[in-house]
Structure 1
């Protein structure tokens, strides 16, 4: 594989061996497990993924990468599928890679906004369509619990994959964890999704993260799932999960709102789990950007 850049991968030693220790425990333990599983989607070295999976009592059964000779504008949908190893309990996991800032194809996917059939974001739907022929056979007939997780673009594709599994494979994921997810489709799509997966989908929004504000609701896009927010440099409290679907956070709609929202553009984040040079450099980014990074979500899901 080896096509994901250094900006989104993490050094092997930064993956805690106990990241999934609380997966069968309380809601906070499940959040922490899901955050690290979403981070794992960014790793494209299969030996590294296998090593981390062994620490977590999982085994990799599929890694999906783009075609080597794909055109620059074709979707680059990357994902891993893992299942419990050695008779251990727990869910199988589909984890979908989000945006790599240095991959042109990812930006084409993000910016292909016009709705496709069913009112779904065209770029996100194309990204799922590219991966589905590889993913569907692995999910078909699976009887144990399944989680679908992702961050950013990966969260949007994860939600679409979970819905398609429900509708075409008769497989209802136990949980969908979506970190920093943009809006995926319109009102009709949201109603369809909510009927099947709304109460099983946890939409996490960290601090000033700008991505969950996009695409704007004013052009017809809607969120799905149950929002769980936390403040900048704070920790998620599962007890604060919203009881129903909502559109928060909304973009500023007035001139005063622009000023109220301004701290997120100028306030550096600094706090990071990453002590390598790339990680430390991200501490100088404005909070609206830094709060979206997957390692910030891992931090915010920590005890």
Structure 2
């Protein structure tokens, strides 16, 4: 993974779970904050010491990492994630792709309408870890434990496919699904049954001009899942602005893909980190800078 998505343990918020309510039945900004921090932790699967340290001050139990190599139609080498328990809840979080490869990743969505109802690359990435996740979700379901599934970027797309696997194979009917910078995952044949089961329990957050939620383009018949919550670059998410129901396909591309990629290099993304990496990240084009996990963490931070 790139240093753009890695954080040393001392930069993790020790209070990320301070107001986490595992029994909440609807969108909650405190849960959204905790789930984004879990999505951040999923980027650290190759740094076991960070996961061990952070899990300790968050009081996570039964922490397991997911690292499965795969051959995929997307430019990634493996699927990475974390499974843990917090109190009585089971949390499954997935890491996204390296932001330094993001333009290549985005360019892979220019190949035309897929033959399958869900993007093949997303399905391959989810299938690589499904057996491990299936076991955790089966145990949680048998115990009647709350289930949270989350991810950032590609990790958000994997989270959606994993939830749908659970719907079909485990008859899972209840889970809170928090998505950050999520791309469109599938066609209407995939999205309709997903939303009918999980649409109101799926919360899709988009920060600023993040390019990833604009792909694959709707012109290829791809649709978003769940309820939609956006915030401006450098602002904070407001719970009351979440769409009351699923069905939104925002954000829309405001230009053709080529022009969209050109526009990425106009202007700068606001910096939310004070370390050397943060200082350098202001040079990133806004569509990529706004996508970084630390930008989502800042947009979910409690107001001072």
Cα distance in 2 for partners of 1:108, 1:209 equals 12
Is the aligned partner of 1:12 residue 2:9?
yes
Encode CA deviations 1:137-192: one digit per residue, 9 max, x unaligned: 22213130010010000000001101211221133443101100000000111101
Displacement of 1:283 in angstroms is: 1.6
Match runs of 1:42-61 below 5 Å: 42-44=43-45, 45-61=47-63
Displacement of 1:269 in angstroms is: 2.0
TM-score scaled by length of structure 2: 0.86
Displacement of 1:98 in angstroms is: 0.2
Q: Secondary structure at the match of 1:66?
A: strand
Cα distance in 1 for partners of 2:76, 2:29 equals 37
Q: Which residue of 1 aligns with 2:145?
A: 144
Displacement of 1:62 in angstroms is: 2.0
Displacement of 1:8 in angstroms is: 1.7
Count how many residue pairs are aligned between Structure 1 and Structure 2: 288
Contact 2:99 2:288 in 1 (8 A): no
Q: Which residue of 1 aligns with 2:66?
A: 64
Cα distance in 2 for partners of 1:102, 1:163 equals 29
Cα pair distance change 1:121/1:75, threshold 3 Å: farther
Q: Which residue of 2 aligns with 1:37?
A: 38
Encode CA deviations 1:217-268: one digit per residue, 9 max, x unaligned: 01110000000000111100011001232111111258xxx79x98764221
Cα distance in 1 for partners of 2:213, 2:106 equals 18
Q: Secondary structure at the match of 1:78?
A: strand
Contact 1:50 1:60 in 2 (8 A): no
Q: Which residue of 2 aligns with 1:249?
A: 251
Q: Secondary structure at the match of 2:149?
A: strand
Structure 2 residues without counterparts, runs of 5 or longer? none
Is the aligned partner of 1:28 residue 2:29?
yes
Is the aligned partner of 1:279 residue 2:278?
yes
Is the aligned partner of 1:237 residue 2:238?
yes
Encode CA deviations 1:61-82: one digit per residue, 9 max, x unaligned: 3211134xx6697751111100
Displacement of 1:102 in angstroms is: 5.6
Displacement of 1:109 in angstroms is: 11
Q: Secondary structure at the match of 1:227?
A: strand
Q: Secondary structure at the match of 1:16?
A: coil
Q: Which residue of 2 aligns with 1:299?
A: 298
Cα distance in 1 for partners of 2:243, 2:106 equals 32
Q: Secondary structure at the match of 1:284?
A: coil
Contact 1:210 1:292 in 2 (8 A): yes
Q: Secondary structure at the match of 2:78?
A: coil
Contact 1:226 1:241 in 2 (8 A): yes
Cα distance in 1 for partners of 2:159, 2:110 equals 17
Cα pair distance change 1:222/1:206, threshold 3 Å: same
